[in-house]
Structure 1
Amino acid sequence: MSFTLEHTDHALIVTIEGHLVVTNRQEFKQAILDAVEQGVRVVVVDFTTSGYIDSSGLGALVSLSRRLRDVGGDLRLVGLNDDLRTLFELTRLDALFPLYATRADALAAR
Structure 2
Amino acid sequence: MNYNFDLKEDVLVLSLEGDLIGEDSGADLMDKISGYVQEGVRLCVVDISELRYINSSGIGVLITILTKFRNKGGEVCLLKPSESVQKLLIITKLNAIFSVVDTEEEAFENLKSA
Q: Report the TM-score when normalising by structure 1.
A: 0.93
Corresponding residue SS for 1:47: strand
Two-structure CA RMSD over aligned residues (Å): 1.1
Deviates more, 1:26-35 or 1:92-101: 26-35
Structure 1 residue 10: deviation in Å? 2.3
Q: Which residue of 2 aligns with 1:93?
A: 94
Q: Determine the structure 2 residue equivalent to 1:84.
A: 85
Instruction: State how many pairs are aligned.
Output: 110
Unpaired runs of 5+ residues, structure 1, are none
The offset of 1:22, in angstroms, is: 2.3
CA distance in 2, matches of 1:101, 1:12: 17
Match of 1:31 in 2: 32
Q: Residue 18 of structure 2 aligns with which residue?
A: 18
Runs of at least 4 residues of structure 1 off by over 6 A? none
Instruction: Give the C-alpha shift of residue 13 in structure 1.
Output: 0.2
Task: Tell me how far apart the structure 2 counterparts of residues 15 and 22 of structure 1 sit (CA, whole Å).
Answer: 15
Unaligned runs of 5+ in 2: none
Q: Residue 69 of structure 1: CA displacement?
A: 1.0
